[in-house]
Amino acid sequence: MTTAKDIMTPGAQWIPKTETLDRAAQMMRDHEVGSLPVSDPDNEDRMCGIITDRDLVVKCVAAGRDPSRVTCGELCEGTPRWIDANADVTDVLREMEEHQIKRLPVIENKRMVGMISETDVAHHLSDDQLAEFVQRVYAS
């Protein structure tokens, strides 16, 4: 059985929800990632959301807002999705497809241990499985 932990990229970086979006953009650049889990300042191990490079562009820059004045917490919406490290890869796909999400944090013993991206998924699927995954995640 292939698990979430088997396909994840380990060592995801966190950003506090009180940090500004310009800092989030710098961290994404420095770590070569397209998203950052957002932590609650009262409990740094608690994820209160995820901020993506698309969020920065669409919800801040394109909306005419100043990224140095908007916090990550202001852009986090809803309850963040995650998957247990021991979950089967079919559960990973189902979670990403059902919620049309492209990045999924991996949790082990109540701590985030990594992140699964579309690239991670693509490396572990057949061409047919990948085509089906893309269709479901990107469906309107």
Q: What is the pLDDT of residue 72?
A: 95
- Residues whose CB is less than 8 angstroms from the CB of residue 98 and which lie 6 or more positions away in sequence, other chains included: none
Q: What is the pLDDT of residue 112?
A: 86
* CATH fold for the domain made of 4-137: CBS-domain (3.10.580)
Cβ pair 56, 10 in contact under 8 A: no
Select from 72, 86, 76, 80 the least CA-distant residue to 101: 80
Question: Measured between alpha carbons, how far is 65 from 88 in angstroms, rounded to an integer?
Answer: 41
Select from 97, 81, 80, 91 the least CA-distant residue to 6: 91
Q: What is the pLDDT of residue 128?
A: 81
58 Rama class: left (phi>0) / alpha (psi -120 to 50) / beta: alpha
Q: What is the pLDDT of residue 45?
A: 66
Averaged over 20-45, what is the pLDDT?
88
pTM of the model: 0.80
Cβ pair 97, 54 in contact under 8 A: no
As given in the structure block, the two tokens for residue 66 are: 């100043």
Average pLDDT, the chain: 88
As given in the structure block, the two tokens for residue 53 are: 């490079």
Q: What is the pLDDT of residue 44?
A: 62
Which residue would you say has higher pLDDT here, 100 or 84? 84
How large a percentage of the chain has pLDDT more than 90? 44
58 has a pLDDT exceeding 70: yes
For 60-90, write each residue's pLDDT tens digit: 999 999 999 999 999 887 678 899 999 998 8
Give the number of residues written for the chain. Answer: 140
Averaged over 91-99, what is the pLDDT?
90
